[in-house]
Amino acid sequence: MQKIIPHLWFDKEAVEAAQRYVELFEDSGIINITTIPDTPSGDSVMVDFRLAGMRFSAISAGPYFTLNPSISLMVACNDPEEVDRLYDNLSVDGTDLMPLGEYPFSKRYAWIQDKYGLSWQLMLVENKEEHRRIRLNLLFAGEVCGKAEEAIEYYLSVFEGSDQGFVNYYQTGESMDVRTKINYGELNILGSQLIAMDHGFGGEFSFNEAFSLMILCDSQAEIDYYWDKLSFVPEAEQCGWVKDQFGLSWQIVPENMNETLSRGTEEEVKRITEAFLKMKKLDIAVLERAKLGLNY
């Protein structure tokens, strides 16, 4: 089971964006679409989907957060034509962050922000089988520029069984920001491959709630553990959400949370929603009582 689920926040475009993305990748599809009633954003629409075998979740819940390039999806491509095909589709009404072309690290590469705000790095790789098709790229910029190495070390300490992959450091004169250390670092946590790097070219965007990482927990003890390790901003604690010391947002939730909301009856979903909206850290026992209509 995939333990870490990338979660995207949209104003109204979650389903439209998900349907667009699944058309572009193999082993992809919509898993379910669910309406969560009576949230602070009104009726919110949640969509779970799969891209190249990787599970994602997205929600349309109002114009409160905006996607930016601090987190992007790095796509490993086996031939230049694949890079071009994805670029031609994802760049429509989008923005080039690094134009399509040849770079020292890849003979065919582009970094773009699509029409929905999601950022993509499309890269020709020599040995595609050595890379996951899609990996998350965390770009440490603004106030946390220079902290990619610290973040890798911290996440290694938090997630049991995690390991560090290849790490490359900026050389003298390569970066515009003297705080930068890592220009590429690989990290594997709970079966997910992440890339962390310091932004050496002056970007001021920062992590926010528009792109968060959901941790699916199978027990209250696991929820408690990750909550204690990842919550560093008390005012960000709400409905299972926390923010760590680097500004990255996490959702610490029961593993069956989305399934319960998508398959429950209208009354069950209403009661569960009422229950979790009152919580900071999620309580599995209370949510189960709410589902059953017991005192919660």
Axis-axis angle for helices 284-292, 266-277 (nearest 10): 150
Average pLDDT over residues 132-151: 96
Give me 145's structure tokens: 């520029």
The per-residue DSSP string of 59-122 comes to: EE--TT----TTEEEEEEESSHHHHHHHHHHHTTT-EEEEEEEEETTEEEEEEEE-TTS-EEEE
Q: Beta strand 42-51 with 71-77: parallel, antiparallel or unpaired?
A: unpaired
Q: What's the pLDDT band for 296 if we cut at 50, 70, 90?
A: low
Region of residue 95 (phi > 0: left; psi between -120 and 50: alpha; otherwise: beta) = beta
Place of tokens 């992440």: 194
d(CA 7, CA 292): 27
- As a whole-number percent, the residues of the chain with pLDDT over 70 amount to 99
- As a whole-number percent, the residues of the chain with pLDDT over 90 amount to 83
d(CA 165, CA 194): 10
pLDDT at 146: 95
- Is the model's pLDDT at 165 over the cut of 90? yes
Strand order from edge to edge, sheet including 95-103: 95-103, 106-113, 119-124, 71-77, 134-140, 192-198, 182-189, 163-169
Task: Tell me the backbone φ, ψ of residue 109, rounded to 5 degrees.
Answer: -155, 150
pLDDT at 201: 82
Three-state DSSP class for residue 226: helix
Instruction: Please name every residue paired with 215 in a beta bridge, in sequence order, or none if there are none.
Output: 4, 252
Q: What is the pLDDT of residues 90-113, one digit of tens each?
A: 999 999 999 999 999 999 999 999
Q: Beta strand 192-198 with 182-189: parallel, antiparallel or unpaired?
A: antiparallel
Q: What is the pLDDT of residues 246-255, one digit of tens each?
A: 999 999 999 9
Average pLDDT over residues 208-233: 98
pLDDT at 264: 81
Of 121, 116, 96, residue with least CA distance to 106:
121
- Is the model's pLDDT at 128 over the cut of 70? no
